[in-house]
A and B are shown apart, each in its own frame.
Chain A
């Protein structure tokens, strides 16, 4: 199912470097590719630049040097419309959730559908179903500030998944939930991966990574070391 070998990369970094302002270079000379339908963990010590790397991938930051290509075209040369189209194919779970506090959980999760101009009635059942599946069925109409950390996290995950992205970026998606729920959420990501979504999950949770054999991208000292998955994914 993992047909990474024959397809062109979804994302390609070439000698990418990144610094904030005049600070030190946090990412140095990264060159790697992410294939469609692939699954990878991104790990490394706190402050290593995992979130920074993910922000580059989700096009919320521009690199200070190097080239980032998505779906075969240079990000720096994409028009506003092309960038929007790429973003619509990408689902993001932010480390700090970034739910909008004035919208209900339902509205937050439905946001990617709403910004595409779709009518609420057309996506309501999907949103409700997904919310119920992540266990927020009874929290649908409350505002994020009254949600617990884990509930916010699940809402953030639901928002990233609702538009059935081709590519899912998740920054510490299990940082705030108990191990049982973490396992359950991982299963959700794995299911999505099997259905054809490329996935990158940043985490320092080794027990989580041990549950699923996948490519590991390890950041340290601004450089990236990649350990390809030894096994094909476990049979089901």
Chain B
């Protein structure tokens, strides 16, 4: 009802007072250059910003390390199991009163008849002896030793060979032949790996919770320090959502900064570790390293996981600060 009213009020009162106190030239261009970006309603200084960024950075770093480790373990286990799974062996033991050659032939025949198995390689006696050589040396005459014979089976990619059927056929041949599909080993391995992954994910969760607590603590003290600001904002017509948003914005910025720092540090660590592991690959220790760590496949997915952890940290910073402010405001009212 009073649109444009002040204009009249101003000019009338100015007339009345007799002298205008206006001193600033009112050119639009001049004004535009004077206005800077709006300052934050929550004073920058009132938040322990530096230390909070450091806390968030350290927390993010640790969380990223744990998440990266989980990713590496998962990758390595995947490699192992898939390479082991694609291989099965039949072991034929020499037994008194049985002809090992015919047992081997019968077992190989049984394997060939099994669905899903694409290749059957029978180790001859000479080859089996050669396999033993590294362990017993060249000086020993092994011709009289009862050496078990191996048949390695390879499977069509993605096929699931009917191992139960094969085992039944082998049992029919006699007690000498047995199938080893490494199933027990694989299941023990994946149990262990899963346990490791659970531990790593647990660490990530704990670290995130700890940083959320730190943010909540910092928010509470920021609200307390800015009690006067909050009250004035309320009295000039701000609602709780507006006030909470002002705090949230500041804390989100800190969360992004801390999260980015921590994630960058973790990414650099994994990058360097990756370079070192490829350097090692040419050395003698490489095979052992590779056996343990897989081939250090951190890859794009690993870095994506790190980025995701950092984003989670920044996001939770902003959510936690918002919730904390709103709760504080409700208790203040």
Residues of A within 8 A of B (CB): 58, 60, 80-81, 84, 87-88, 92, 98, 100, 102-104, 106-107, 111-112, 114-117, 120, 124, 126, 128-130, 132-135, 137-138, 140-141, 159, 161, 163-164, 180, 183-184, 187-188, 191-192, 195-197
Contact = CB atoms under 8 A, between A and B. Distances in A.
Most buried by A among B16, B21, B44: B21
A164 B238 contact: no
B101 interface: no
B13 A107 contact: no
Nearest to B25: A137
A206 B23 CA distance: 32
A115 B229 CA distance: 12
The dominant DSSP class at the B interface is helix
Given A115-B238, A115-B242, A164-B6, A107 B39 contact: yes
The dominant DSSP class at the A interface is helix
Contacts of A159: 236
Interface of B: 1-2, 5-7, 9-10, 12-14, 16-17, 21-24, 26, 31, 34-36, 38-39, 41, 43-45, 228-229, 231-240, 242, 333
Contacts of A141: 34, 36
Contacts, number: 108
Nearest to B23: A138
A184 B13 contact: yes
Contacts of B240: 80
Contacts of B239: 80-81, 84
Given A141-B34, A191-B9, A195-B9, A132 B22 contact: yes
A191 to B, nearest CB: 4
25 contacts: A80-B240, A80-B333, A84-B237, A84-B239, A98-B235, A103-B39, A107-B38, A111-B236, A112-B237, A115-B237, A120-B38, A126-B6, A128-B26, A129-B7, A132-B22, A133-B14, A133-B22, A137-B22, A138-B23, A141-B36, A164-B2, A183-B17, A184-B13, A192-B9, A197-B2
